[in-house]
Amino acid sequence: MITLLMNKYIKRCKKMKILGFGAVLWDEIRGELNIGGAVFNLIAHSKKLGAEAYFLTAIGNDELGNKTFDGIKSMNIHTDFIKRVNEP
């Protein structure tokens, strides 16, 4: 029964377009840095379930900003609405 429900929701998710907006945070878990933040995590997991995922945010033009942007792109999350900024 659980498998049937999961398959039903996964099929629904594949038809969705999701736009999340908010800050990107970095979580340090067991000494390892990971891209995080509530909105980003929702977008990332929605993408894994098959949704077309977009993220609206601003990311710095620095080393950590580049790492963030590359990480988001590597997850195949649309970056059309990400602005790169020089200011903090």
What is the domain extent for residue 57? 2-85
Number of domains the chain is built from: 1
Exposure letters 17-26 (e unless 16+ CB within 10 A, then b): ebebeeebee
Pairing of strands 17-21, 52-60: parallel
- Residue 80: CATH number of its domain: 3.40.1190.30
Query: One digit per residue, pLDDT tens: the chain, 88 residues?
Result: 667 666 776 777 677 889 999 999 998 889 998 999 999 999 999 999 889 999 999 999 999 999 999 999 999 999 999 999 997 6
pLDDT score, position 44? 94
pLDDT score, position 49? 87
pTM over 0.85? The answer is no
Torsion of CA 44, 24, 81, 58, to 10 degrees: -170
